[in-house]
């Protein structure tokens, strides 16, 4: 039976312990980082061996390939991708061209990812950064207002889906006001619910029909002062599923980040209890992976239904003009460096 966990791997080759873990746990997915990527042939082999170890065809293979600071595949393993802000800068002068370019560039990326066996990209970022917030989002955002973020985020997602790659919107319900990096500490946002409703939440409402999303390890004091979104039943039920209206596959951000506290098994249990469909564990530590898996139930019920809907994206790939997409990529890279 499949487990409601997505797990990282320690390095570029699958260890015997990892093979046994994948066979026993049968995770819903794996996630790749730069430490897992040595060459294109090696990536293909690692992905294929991991899927074979799980023993199921329907395995989400994730990567963070946003562009700019966050791209696990860099030349020569993958194309250099512009920052989200570069798309936003082009949008300010020519919105139609920017939107078309975003779709083409990410359909081009989707084709590259599929060649490596990767079928899920943790993008687009829909966070709305505000002045004075921590810089962890920064140029990963498509703008500082709702309209460009929604328009460009939609284009990025549509480009990925046209290429058979599942987009994962993040970090719901919003990381743009965070006062620290959630990799290192727990951010707390003190703005009123009404302010959040009229800004941070709007970008996610605009793309609530997309197939997958990742939670924010952020406390929103006006909604739940005691728990970050990832482990807050109130935030997930009332805001993400309710006010925002997202009914797709909901995964946590990385359980091994320092924003969360407590034993790894307890973190996984709290995440599932709060309403996430899947837990994500990224650092490749086999002991932590095992503990997280021990707190993660079988993939069934509504979570399985949402997983199936997300997986369906991988089953349809549409053609496109590669030369046109490469020209769009060059245009945005030039726009971002201007």
Listed residue (145, 204, 150) closest to 172, CA to CA: 204
pLDDT grade, residue 337 (50/70/90)? low
Active site residues: 183, 253
pLDDT of residue 209: 98
Is the predicted pLDDT of residue 338 greater than 60, yes or no? no
Q: CA–CA separation, 46 vs 284, rounded Å? A: 14
176-179: long-range pairs with CB below 8 Å, 24+:
176/127, 176/128, 176/129, 176/130, 176/133, 176/137, 176/141, 176/200, 177/130, 177/133, 177/218, 178/133, 178/134, 178/136, 178/137, 178/216, 178/218, 179/133, 179/134
Backbone torsion region of residue 35, taken as left when φ is above 0, otherwise alpha when ψ lies between -120 and 50, otherwise beta:
alpha
User: Is residue 183 pLDDT above 80, yes or no?
Assistant: yes
Q: pTM of the prediction?
A: 0.96
Query: What average pLDDT does the chain have?
Result: 96
* Token pair in block for residue 305: 């239904």
Which tens digits make up the pLDDT trace of 38-57? 999 999 999 999 999 999 99
The tokens describing 311, both together, are 């997986």
Buried b / exposed e along 101-135 (16+ C-beta atoms within 10 A)? bbbbbbbbbbbbbbebbbbbbbbbbbbbbbeebbe
Domain map (residue ranges) of the chain:
3-337
* Confidence band of 333 (pLDDT split at 50, 70, 90): very high
Task: Note the pLDDT of residue 167.
Answer: 98
Mean pLDDT for 272-290 is 97
Residue with tokens 């009123």: 192
Determine the pLDDT at residue 184.
82
CA gap 174, 189 in Å, rounded? 10
What is the pLDDT at residue 141?
95
Is the pLDDT assigned to residue 181 strictly greater than 80?
no
pLDDT band for position 259 (cuts 50, 70, 90)? confident
Res 131: pLDDT:
85
With cut-offs at 50, 70 and 90, classify the pLDDT of residue 65. very high
Q: Which fold has domain 3-337?
A: TIM Barrel (3.20.20)
User: What integer pLDDT is reported at residue 148 of this predicted model?
Assistant: 97
CA distances from 280 to 85, 109, 128, 255, 294 (A): 27, 23, 23, 6, 13
* pLDDT for the residue numbered 188: 93
pLDDT for residue 124 is more than 70: yes
Q: Classify residue 160 as exposed, middle or buried by CB count within 10 Å of its CB (0-12, 13-18, 19+).
A: buried
**pLDDT attached to residue 178:** 84
* pLDDT tens for each residue of 184-197: 888 899 999 999 99
Residue 132, pLDDT score? 79
212 contacts 203 by C-beta, under 8 angstroms: no
Summarize the confidence of residues 28-37 as an average pLDDT: 98
Task: Give the pLDDT confidence score for residue 47 in this predicted structure.
Answer: 98
Percentage, residues of the chain above pLDDT 90:
93
The string of DSSP letters for 88-133 reads HHHHHH-HHHHHHHHHHHHHHHHHHHHHTT--EE---B-----TTS
């Amino acid at each position: 039976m499949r487990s409601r966990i997505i797990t990282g791997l320690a390095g570029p080759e699958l260890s015997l312990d990892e093979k046994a873990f994948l066979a026993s746990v049968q995770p819903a997915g794996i996630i790749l980082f730069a430490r897992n990527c040595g060459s294109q042939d090696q990536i293909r082999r690692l992905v294929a061996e991991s899927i074979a170890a799980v023993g199921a065809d329907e395995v989400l293979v994730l990567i963070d390939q946003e562009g700019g600071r966050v791209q696990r595949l860099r030349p020569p393993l993958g194309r250099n991708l512009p920052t989200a802000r570069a798309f936003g800068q082009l949008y300010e002068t020519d919105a139609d061209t920017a939107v078309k370019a975003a779709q083409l560039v990410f359909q081009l990326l989707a084709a590259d990812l599929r060649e490596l066996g990767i079928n899920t990209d943790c993008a687009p970022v829909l966070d709305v950064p505000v002045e004075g917030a921590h810089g962890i989002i920064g140029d990963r955002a498509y703008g500082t207002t709702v309209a460009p973020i929604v328009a460009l985020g939609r284009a990025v997602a549509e480009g990925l889906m046209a290429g058979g790659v599942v987009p994962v919107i993040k970090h719901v319900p919003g990381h743009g006001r965070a006062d620290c990096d959630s990799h290192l500490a727990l951010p707390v946002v003190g703005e009123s619910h009404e302010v959040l409703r009229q800004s941070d939440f709007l970008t996610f409402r605009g793309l609530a029909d997309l197939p997958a999303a990742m939670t924010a390890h952020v406390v929103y004091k006006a909604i739940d002062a005691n728990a970050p979104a990832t482990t807050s039943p109130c935030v997930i039920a009332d805001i993400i599923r309710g006010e925002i209206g997202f009914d797709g596959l909901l995964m946590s951000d990385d359980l091994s980040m320092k924003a969360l506290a407590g034993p790894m098994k307890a973190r996984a249990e709290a995440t599932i209890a709060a309403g996430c469909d899947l837990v994500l564990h990224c650092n490749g530590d086999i002991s932590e992976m095992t503990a997280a898996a021990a707190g993660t139930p079988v993939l069934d019920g509504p979570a399985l239904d949402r997983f199936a809907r997300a997986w369906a994206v991988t089953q349809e790939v549409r053609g496109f003009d590669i030369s046109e997409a490469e020209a769009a990529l060059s245009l945005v890279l030039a726009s971002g460096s201007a």
